[in-house]
């Protein structure tokens, strides 16, 4: 299983998680979130917000505990409206194709468990103070990335809109088999990397190595990833 970088952002009032990982149901090596949070002094009870980039297993399945209750009982759960509507739709399990039908079943079950605690967000919306949603559709139909601004610093949480720090930077136009709409995802990737390079933002890729934090530099027609070791 590749690295899964759950981002934790604390602003003094809120404790915000971006995605929650896969949980123990997806793969035996997953399900380490509670321990990982404990190691940095964050208890599950104090998480105020969980913000999802998308509803794939390795991003949302960890949202429930062993009793199928929400793992973060006091949190508000935020997801892009289009993403929510896609996985909530009972037709999706039939239309998504056999390879991903289990994704649809698994997402729906978890979304039903948190339905009463969810707020849906739209492109361009300031979802929390200093945090804006950026539509980054393609990897999934309603994938969202999030920009955190804190004084002069900014960081772009890419989710899986940019899947890896190699090919996706050097050839952002190349289609990737992990993207549901490969052409749309390629256009999204180029746009996000351009934005991050232009504004000299930090980026965090969910599956990038070594905690996933880096910067984006232009390299001719393409881009280069400069990782920052945490």
Piece of 40-48, 53-61, 69-77, 96-104 that binds Zn ion (CB under 5 A): 53-61
DSSP string computed for the chain: ------EEEE-SS-EEEE-----TTT-TT---HHHHHHHTT--GGG--EEE-S---HHHHGGGB-TTSSBSSTT-EEEEEHHHHHHHHSTTHHHHS-GGGHHHHHHHHHHHHHHGGGEEEE-TT-EEETTEEEEE-TTSSTT-EEEEEEETTEEEEEEETSS--SSHHHH-TTS--TT-SSHHHHHHHHHHHHHHHHHTT-EEEETT-SGGGEEEEEEETTEEEEEE---
Distance CA 56, CA 107 (A): 7
Q: Which is nearer to Zn ion, 5 or 92 (CB)?
A: 5
Piece of 126-134, 157-165, 196-204, 218-226 that binds Zn ion (CB under 5 A): 157-165
Q: Which is nearer to Zn ion, 83 or 160 (CB)?
A: 160
Does position 179 interact with Zn ion (CB under 5 A)? The reply is: no
Piece of 8-16, 51-59, 101-109, 142-150 that binds Zn ion (CB under 5 A): 51-59
Q: Which is nearer to Zn ion, 58 or 147 (CB)?
A: 58
Piece of 50-58, 87-95, 134-142, 209-217 that binds Zn ion (CB under 5 A): 50-58
Structure tokens at 161: 């809109």
Q: Which residues of 176-194 are buried (b: 16+ CB within 10 A; e: fewer)?
A: beebbbeebbbebbbebbe
- Minimum distance of Zn ion from residue 207's CB (angstroms): 6
Q: Which is nearer to Zn ion, 58 or 179 (CB)?
A: 58
Does position 19 interact with Zn ion (CB under 5 A)? The reply is: no
Does position 58 interact with Zn ion (CB under 5 A)? The reply is: yes
- Minimum distance of Zn ion from residue 87's CB (angstroms): 15
Q: Which is nearer to Zn ion, 154 or 164 (CB)?
A: 164
Phi then psi for 98, rounded to 5 degrees?
-60, -35
- Minimum distance of Zn ion from residue 164's CB (angstroms): 11
- Minimum distance of Zn ion from residue 73's CB (angstroms): 25
Does position 83 interact with Zn ion (CB under 5 A)? The reply is: no
Piece of 55-63, 98-106, 124-132, 190-198 that binds Zn ion (CB under 5 A): 55-63
Does position 160 interact with Zn ion (CB under 5 A)? The reply is: yes
Footprint on this chain of Zn ion (rule: CB under 5 A) = 58, 160
């Amino acid at each position: 299983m590749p690295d899964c970088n759950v981002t934790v952002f604390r602003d003094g009032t809120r404790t915000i998680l971006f995605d929650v990982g896969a949980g123990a149901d997806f793969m035996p090596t997953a399900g380490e979130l509670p321990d990982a949070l404990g190691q940095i002094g964050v208890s599950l009870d104090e998480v105020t917000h969980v913000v999802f980039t998308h509803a794939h297993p390795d991003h949302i399945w960890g949202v429930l505990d062993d009793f199928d209750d929400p793992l973060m009982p006091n949190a508000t759960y935020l997801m892009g409206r289009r993403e929510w509507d896609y996985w909530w739709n009972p037709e999706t399990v039939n239309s998504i194709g056999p390879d991903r039908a289990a994704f649809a079943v698994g997402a729906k079950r978890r979304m039903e468990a948190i339905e009463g605690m969810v707020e849906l967000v739209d492109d361009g919306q300031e979802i929390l103070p200093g945090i804006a949603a950026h539509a980054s559709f393609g990897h999934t139909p309603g994938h969202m990335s999030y920009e955190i601004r804190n004084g002069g610093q900014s960081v772009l949480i890419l989710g899986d809109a940019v899947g890896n720090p190699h090919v996706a930077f050097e050839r952002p136009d190349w289609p990737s088999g992990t993207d549901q709409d490969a052409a749309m995802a390629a256009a999204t990737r180029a746009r996000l990397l351009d934005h991050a390079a232009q504004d000299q933002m930090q980026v965090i890729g969910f599956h990038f190595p070594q905690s996933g934090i880096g910067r984006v530099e232009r390299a001719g027609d393409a881009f280069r990833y400069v990782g920052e070791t945490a």
